[in-house]
């Protein structure tokens, strides 16, 4: 079974892991190091001030790293994720596992939970998956949620109106607490699956197992009736009580700005299981790893939605500048004049939080923002190719919108070429292949010092 430790070893062998042997502080210092290494190597901070547990971060920090974890090429990623969502295979459950090496009463202060930024409401667990089930124990959901440490046995959990929220509301109406199992320190495939928002009723454990080729194994909890990954580093068991909530935040979310403070439910932690000498996995909110885990599954959803509206989609990019959440670039093979606008409508339908979308032709690389800007400059006319949708559902994370009602104005840009004009009118001039080859040979000789 691939686990976090095996992937750390793989990254180190590939030269993509930085070990820090100096002692770091969980308050601001570790997060600052993570920020400075953004888009760079993963980092293992071996020594932590006032704690014996090392911290690893940046495991899912690049698109290529996530592709390596599930064994696909970049261009195969969306299709592979959609296949796993549509073909989940639930993992086998064993009674024992490495995460059960130590079982104890909870003491959250023993975990090196990070305080990331100056105005944070407190320390936050940011890389945890949360498992829960319905009243009949058949409906299971696994998703990623931020968890604010309140004291040694209580966490505030941010629950947005999705699947975990629905399960919580069902329990709340029945006057019963919702059992949860919180797992930390996981292989990237499990993290990606938990971020995927599979259809309600489909367990993300099944999605992760398909991504891993059937090698995921679960184990049972001690205090709650839930399974957890047997190779997790740390598991917190507990219950969300229906009649208890607190002010949660401030917290920096995907936009890099502080999310608003809300009243959120409280998790009472009743049991802690972990591996001997476990590794704590951290994630820096608002930076690349956060963006990728949030954005990649939504890219797949947009890809599937747009593919139903136009014949051929080359690629989807939820851009880093748009927080990998609010801005999308869609590259497609245009067949008819209305394809661009059809793709925009489909993109907004595929990802409800999407705010701005740009459609370009298949000769434009959606990951090359200079090419995208060139397409807008040469193929877009605002009076004909601009789409505005006012008062639409948006993202609660967007500080420029109505964060309480989640309303925004959406904008679509159709930067595809006009079919009424020749294709050559929109094409960049290129060099002759023969002369380009000869020019490169000349430059190589100059570079090597062998030119006359």
The 8 Å CB, 24+ separation contacts for 164-171 are 164/130, 164/132, 166/200, 167/132, 167/133, 167/134, 167/139, 167/141, 168/132, 168/240, 168/242, 168/265, 170/134, 170/135, 171/135, 171/240, 171/242
Q: Torsions phi, psi of 72, nearest 5?
A: -130, 160
Instruction: Say how far apart CA 399 and CA 260 lie, in whole Å.
Output: 9
Local structure of residue 91 (DSSP, 8 states): P
Q: Decide the pairing of beta strands 92-94 and 42-48.
A: unpaired
Q: What is the CA radius of gyration of the chain?
A: 24
Half-sphere exposure of 297 (CA within 13 A, CB side): 25
Per-residue tokens: 283: 């994630």
Question: Based on the number of CB atoms within 10 Å of its own CB, is 127 exposed (0-12), middle (13-18) or buried (19 or more)?
Answer: buried
Instruction: Say how far apart CA 56 and CA 49 lie, in whole Å.
Output: 15
Query: Scanning the structure block, which residue is given the tokens 């599937």?
Result: 304
Q: Active-site residue 414, yes or no?
A: no
* Geometric angle at alpha carbon 320, from 316 and 321, rounded to 5°: 115
Q: Give the distance between the most distant pair of CA atoms in the chain.
A: 87
Length reported for the chain: 452
Q: Are 145 and 180 in contact (CB under 8 A)?
A: no
Per-residue tokens: 434: 């023969």
Per-residue tokens: 376: 């807008």
Q: Are 193 and 204 in contact (CB under 8 A)?
A: yes
Q: Which of 120, 253, 339, 385 is catalytic?
A: 253
Local structure of residue 110 (DSSP, 8 states): G
19 Rama sector, left if φ>0, alpha if ψ -120 to 50, beta otherwise: beta
Q: Torsions phi, psi of 30, nearest 5?
A: -60, -40
Q: Under DSSP, is residue 307 helix (H, G, I), strand (E, B) or coil?
A: helix
Active site (catalytic) residues = 253
């Amino acid at each position: 079974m691939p686990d976090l430790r095996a992937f750390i070893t793989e990254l180190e062998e590939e030269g993509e892991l930085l070990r820090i042997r100096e002692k770091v502080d969980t308050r601001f210092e570790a997060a600052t190091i993570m920020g400075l290494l953004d888009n760079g190597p993963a980092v293992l901070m071996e020594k932590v001030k006032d704690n014996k547990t090392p911290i690893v971060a940046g495991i899912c920090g690049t698109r290529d790293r996530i592709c390596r974890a599930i064994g696909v090429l970049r261009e195969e990623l969306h299709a592979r994720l959609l296949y796993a969502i549509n073909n989940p295979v639930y993992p086998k459950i064993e009674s024992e596992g490495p995460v059960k090496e130590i079982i104890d009463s909870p003491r959250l202060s023993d975990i090196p939970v990070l305080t990331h930024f100056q105005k944070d409401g407190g320390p936050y667990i940011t890389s945890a998956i949360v498992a829960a089930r319905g009243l009949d124990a058949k409906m299971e959901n696994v998703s990623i949620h931020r968890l604010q440490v309140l004291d040694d046995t209580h966490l505030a959990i941010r629950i947005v109106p999705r699947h975990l929220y629905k399960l919580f509301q069902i329990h709340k109406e029945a006057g019963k607490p919702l059992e949860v199992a919180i797992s930390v320190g996981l292989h990237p495939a499990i993290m990606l699956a938990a971020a995927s928002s599979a259809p309600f009723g489909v367990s993300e454990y099944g999605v992760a197992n398909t991504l891993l080729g059937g090698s995921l194994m679960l184990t049972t909890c001690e205090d709650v009736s839930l399974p957890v990954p047997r190779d997790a580093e740390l598991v917190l068991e507990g219950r969300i009580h229906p009649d208890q909530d607190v002010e949660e935040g401030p917290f920096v979310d995907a936009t890099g700005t502080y999310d608003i403070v809300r009243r959120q439910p409280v998790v009472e932690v009743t049991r802690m299981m972990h591996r001997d000498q476990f590794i704590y996995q951290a994630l820096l909110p608002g930076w690349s790893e956060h963006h990728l885990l949030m954005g990649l599954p939504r890219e797949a959803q947009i890809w599937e939605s747009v593919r139903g509206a136009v014949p051929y989609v080359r690629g989807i990019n939820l851009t880093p500048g748009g927080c990998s959440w609010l801005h999308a670039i869609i590259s497609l093979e245009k067949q008819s004049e209305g394809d661009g606008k059809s793709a925009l409508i489909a993109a907004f339908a595929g990802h409800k939080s999407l705010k701005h979308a740009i459609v370009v032709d298949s000769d434009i690389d959606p990951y090359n923002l200079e090419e995208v800007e060139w397409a807008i400059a040469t193929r877009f006319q605002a009076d004909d190719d601009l789409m505005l949708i006012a008062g639409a559902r948006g993202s609660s994370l967007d500080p420029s919108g109505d964060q309480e009602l989640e309303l925004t104005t959406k904008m679509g840009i159709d930067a595809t070429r006009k079919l009424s004009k020749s294709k050559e009118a929109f094409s960049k001039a290129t060099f002759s292949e023969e002369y380009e080859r000869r020019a490169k040979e000349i430059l190589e000789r100059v570079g090597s010092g062998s030119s006359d």
